[in-house]
Amino acid sequence: MAARLDFLKINPGPRGWFEGRRVLVIGLGKSGAAAAALLARLGARVSVTENRPPAAVRFGRRFLPAGVACETGGHELLEEAWDLIVPSPGVPSALWASRARRGTPVWGELELGYRVLRSAGRWPARVAAVTGTNGKTTTTALLGAMAKADGLPTVMAGNIGTPLCAVADRLSADSVLILEVSSYQLETTAAFRPLVGVVLNVTPDHLGRHGTMARYAQAKFRLFQSQGPGDAAVLNAKDPVCRRWARGVPGQVAWFGNRRPGVRWDGRGLVSTLPGGGGRWSAPALLAGRHNLENAAAAVAAARRLGFSPGAIARALKDFPGVEHRLEMVREWRGVRWVNDSKATNVDATLVALRAFAGNLRVILGGRDKGAPYAPLRREIRRKAREVMLIGEAAEKIARDLAGTVPLVRCGTLERAVRRAASTAWPGDVLLLSPACASFDQFKDFEHRGRRFKELVRALR
């Protein structure tokens, strides 16, 4: 399983390796601030470079310890000599790849946290890392709920909202660590090794960053590059990319879907055929949609490999309520259901959302384009939707790809789209925010977009 960024692989270094080292952190979001703070505690001489203006990073600067230099508005510090460079996940590889090839170690925040914890003897024995184009957050949260239902000391971190470096002080070898990891985070890993790695699916996304589907898949499957024969890879039996890449996985493969050994839905429940981890469980009580059966099957497969009890798994499946911004019911108003699916930042995620409803949809689409066509939505839009309201930078591209399906209304902003829906929707309709786009043209992130949508809907009188 050849890795495109093999030049990142260097020895992890002794426990005191960071003392006095010159380290540059690129980016001052959550990951950058957490990495800088951890490095400073380890005695490194830390500097942060951020190309956004000072006002845009005021919040992140509050978390930097005294003595950490912070450059904003450019990346001049990149030209200096550094013992280590730590790029934030959103930083394009063009900024650091050439330095890595010249011998400067480059670790992302995920890799940094892993190396620090491992060298200190505090990397947990039970770690699961979940990735995939869609379903990561739901599956990660459900797996975390299973661990907690078993009474285990559980920490959830990564792309789910809390950087690994920010929870390093809470972890020990006895903890259970559940991580959501993205392709951006995996791109800068080398030694990172979870006991259980999960790939839910690989469909077109982030092509502006990775360039091709092959490179995007390659980034996802870096999750398994340091695993050994005793580790486990939980893979989607229906996903052609997972089936193709499974041949290069060094650990034991557990499938979810119609392959063995693994976990599948047989029409009556979730059935496990894993060696030493068999059993049957009811479907998630509070999660709707076929896609959530697959997420649950993946979580069960990972939970059994981590040694969680069958009873704890059953309790979590019964009580788990879902995650914010993913097919989240906001309210019913004048007979119209308003659903927040802001986490649908790509076409495949929106397709899943459309399939979860019987019809009578009024859909809000748009935001910042991520390079994939919107034509795959045509069939479900024609079958399920009354109209589509377009917002953001991608509105015209979406209008071209969906022309001739249903009425397409250019609203421009989320506020205008909600106002239009409030005045035109009929009792029995479903107003679905499922943008199929990134949020960065008008919002800080998809959470910001989802929270604003909920504010607007709850303000309706």
Q: List the catalytic residues.
A: 136, 159, 206
Q: How far apart are CA 255 and CA 413, in angstroms?
A: 42
From CA 257, how far away is CA 6, in angstroms rounded? 32
Q: Phi and psi dihedrals of 420, rounded to 5?
A: -65, -45
Laid out side by side, the sheet with 279-281 consists of 154-158, 176-180, 126-131, 196-199, 232-236, 252-256, 262-265, 270-272, 279-281
Pairing of strands 196-199, 126-131: parallel
Helices (H), 221-289: 240-245
User: For 396, phi and psi rounded to 5 degrees?
Assistant: -70, -35
Question: Omega into 261 within 30° of 0, i.e. cis?
Answer: yes
Phi and psi angles of residue 273, each rounded to the nearest 5 degrees, phi first: -115, 25
Q: What are the C-alpha distances in Å from 252 to residues 91, 255, 303?
A: 33, 10, 15
Amino acid present at 372? A
Pick from 90, 322, 331, 33: nearest CA to 208 = 90
**Cα-Cα-Cα-Cα dihedral of 2, 134, 213, 92, to 10°?**
-80
Q: Which helix (H) or strand (E) holds 85?
A: strand 84-87
Task: Please name which of 9, 228, 225 lies closest in space to residue 131, comparing C-alpha atoms.
Answer: 225
Angle between helices 30-41 and 109-119 (to 10 degrees): 30
In which element (H, E) is residue 40 found? helix 30-41
Give the integer Cα–Cα distance in Å for 208 and 188: 17
Calculate the alpha carbon distances from 223 to 184, 234, 425 in Å: 12, 11, 45
